[in-house]
Amino acid sequence: MNKIKVVHYINQFFAGIGGEEKADIKPEFRNEVVGPGLALMQQFGEEAEIVGTVICGDSYLNENVEEATKVILEMVKAAKPDLFVAGPAFNAGRYGVACGTIGKAVKEQLGIPVVTAMYVENPGVDMYRKDLNIVSTTNSAAGMRKAIKPLAALALKLGRNEVIGSPAEEGYHVRGIRQNYFAEKIGAERAVDMLVNKLKGEAFETEYPMPTFDHVEPGKAIKDLSKAKIALVTSGGMVPSGNPDRIEASSAQKYGKYELDNMGETAHGGFDPTYANDNPNVVVPTDALRQFEAEGVIGSIHPYYYSTTGNGTSVKNSKAFAAEFTKELVAAGVDGVILTST
Amino acid sequence: MVKEIERSGIPVVHLCTVVPISLTVGANRIVPAIAIPHPFGDPALCAEDQLKLRKDIVKTALEALTTEVTDQTVFDVK
């Protein structure tokens, strides 16, 4: 079998040319193995070889993306490789972005499999994790040896066109891709195994890690409720009859702003809508709040409610919705918000 | 949404049925509701009693908004 031909991309620093003062060098191609390529070659053994190395200054690439990409694509194309490896970039931001930028261009425009490697907080990870396999590394080049092994292993698999395992198995950053597979044990067994391990105080690994949530300082308490303006917001999907804005039943892409009187049904697809459609107050307690307003317990009610469906809706979308309508709440002088969820 | 609103400085009280989710997401003032399909009602009760129930929950929510908190706090309906 022929050896898999690899082109390797590195920056000026790992090529031994220089540090920041040489970060503006233009792309060059060498018909040889340079820097970390030597360690990669050791791992490749007889299966693959680096036929050429592209070297480019990090600043040059980031400041001249179009020009540099064009030139580098020509270099890679001329070498006719079966595989393209970039980095590892560790936590070097511009280098990581460079590896991702060039990697994505090679993959999409030349149709060659690509793998790179960097530290989780390298901005290149979030920018390119959806496009590329990015092997997870430590944050500095001290972790080179640890990084090269999984990088070379994944590179060989890609070069051989083999099926790639999960991020945990192969050591790359989660790409947000769901793949069906046949597990040895059914879900119920796996769940019980996990529970037993948890009860025993032993390690267990979730199959569905939850996103991490940041925390926000609590708002200052309202001093005089009788003068306060209260607003109602809901993730329960209450909308005017007929759902005029077509708010999605789940994974909402939008929210609605409506007059408080205009609440007729729920758009939410994640619960039995019978009660909410029968009496919207069970999801947004407008009637109770109105009574408190009439009794003078609160000053006034913001005349609009803001609504979306909370099921399956991404944190990103929810944040964007709220960031937008919060400007209105602030402008309207709202003193406190009651947010209801089903 | 709770957090994004609160980032502006406006206090928010989260009325919700599944308190652990609210705690995980990071709401600071939380009032537990009744059930997922009818957080502020109980179909077993007559309309009048349901309104009373709803007022009790909203009253707790308003009290939560007038209470200074430094950490996540769950306000149970009295």
CB count, 10 Å around CB of A168? 10
* Domain A4-170 superfamily per CATH: Cobalamin-binding domain (3.40.50.280)
DSSP state of B5: H
Q: Given CB atoms, is B8 within the 8 Å cutoff of chain A? A: yes
Q: Given CB atoms, is B11 within the 8 Å cutoff of chain A? A: yes
Yes or no: say if A323 and A233 are a contact pair by the CB < 8 Å rule: no
Q: Given CB atoms, is B18 within the 8 Å cutoff of chain A? A: yes
How many CB pairs lie under 8 A apart between chains A and B? 170
Distances (CA, A) of A114 to A83, A105, A163, A299: 6, 10, 14, 62
CB count, 10 Å around CB of A317? 17
Tell me the two tokens of residue A140.
């500095």
Residues paired with A231 in a beta bridge = A337
> In the predicted model, what is the mean pLDDT of residues B33-51?
92
Cis peptide before A240 (omega within 30 of 0): no
Q: Say if the Cβ atoms of B1 and A318 lie within 8 Å.
A: yes
Min Cα separation B20/chain A (Å): 13
Instruction: Give the closest of B17, B61, B66 to A338, CB-based.
Output: B61
| Closest residue in B to A328 (Cα–Cα) | B5
Is position B46 within any domain?
yes
| Closest residue in B to A314 (Cα–Cα) | B1
Please name the residue that has the structure tokens 């993306």: A65
Instruction: Give the closest of B4, B51, B65 to A322, CB-based.
Output: B4
Yes or no: say if A97 and A127 are a contact pair by the CB < 8 Å rule: yes
DSSP H helices in chain A: 37-44, 58-63, 65-79, 93-105, 123-128, 144-159, 167-170, 187-199, 274-278, 286-294, 315-331
Rounded Cα–Cα distance for residues A222 and A218 (Å): 12
Q: Given CB atoms, is B37 within the 8 Å cutoff of chain A? A: yes
A117 membership: H or E segment, kind and range: strand A114-119
Is position B72 within any domain?
no
Q: Say if the Cβ atoms of A330 and B7 lie within 8 Å.
A: no
A233 membership: H or E segment, kind and range: strand A229-234
Min Cα separation A24/chain B (Å): 41
Is position B78 within any domain?
no
Domain that holds residue B35: 2-67
Q: Given CB atoms, is A244 within the 8 Å cutoff of chain B? A: no
Secondary structure (3-state) at A328: helix
Is position B31 within any domain?
yes
Task: Judge whether residue B21 has pLDDT over 90.
Answer: no
Rounded Cα–Cα distance for residues B28 and A172 (Å): 35
Residue A304 makes CB contacts below 8 A (sequence gap 6+) with: A231, A257, A258, A259, A260, A328
pLDDT at res. A153: 97
pLDDT at res. A161: 93
Count of the separate structural domains present in chain B: 1
pLDDT at res. A122: 85
Instruction: Give the closest of B9, B39, B61 to A342, CB-based.
Output: B39
Please name the residue that has the structure tokens 């070297």: A55
Q: Say if the Cβ atoms of B55 and A291 lie within 8 Å.
A: yes
Domain borders along chain A are 4-170, 225-340
Rounded Cα–Cα distance for residues A101 and A123 (Å): 12
Rounded Cα–Cα distance for residues B67 and A234 (Å): 22
Q: Say if the Cβ atoms of B11 and A220 lie within 8 Å.
A: yes
Which residues in chain A come in under a pLDDT of 50?
none
* Chain B residues whose beta carbon lies within 8 Å of the beta carbon of residue A296: none
CB count, 10 Å around CB of A136? 20
Radius of gyration of chain A (CA): 28
Yes or no: say if A285 and A230 are a contact pair by the CB < 8 Å rule: no
Is position B38 within any domain?
yes
Yes or no: say if A206 and A198 are a contact pair by the CB < 8 Å rule: no
The percent of residues in chain B predicted with pLDDT above 70, rounded, is: 100
* Chain B residues whose beta carbon lies within 8 Å of the beta carbon of residue A213: 3, 24-26
Q: Say if the Cβ atoms of A342 and B17 lie within 8 Å.
A: yes
Q: Say if the Cβ atoms of B40 and A218 lie within 8 Å.
A: no
Rounded Cα–Cα distance for residues A108 and B18 (Å): 44
| Closest residue in A to B1 (Cα–Cα) | A322
Q: Pairing between strand A238-239 and A48-56?
A: unpaired
Distances (CA, A) of A130 to A50, A100, A127, A172, B74: 26, 11, 8, 12, 38
Of B1, B46, B50, B51, which to mutate for an interface test with A (greatest number of A Cβ within 10 Å)? B1
pLDDT at res. A90: 94
Yes or no: say if A280 and A305 are a contact pair by the CB < 8 Å rule: no
Q: Say if the Cβ atoms of A339 and B14 lie within 8 Å.
A: yes
* Chain A residues whose beta carbon lies within 8 Å of the beta carbon of residue B32: none
Is position B73 within any domain?
no
Q: Given CB atoms, is A335 within the 8 Å cutoff of chain B? A: yes
Q: Given CB atoms, is B30 within the 8 Å cutoff of chain A? A: no
Is position B58 within any domain?
yes
Is position B18 within any domain?
yes
pLDDT at res. A212: 64
A78-137 residues touching B, CB cutoff 8 A: none
pTM of the model: 0.57
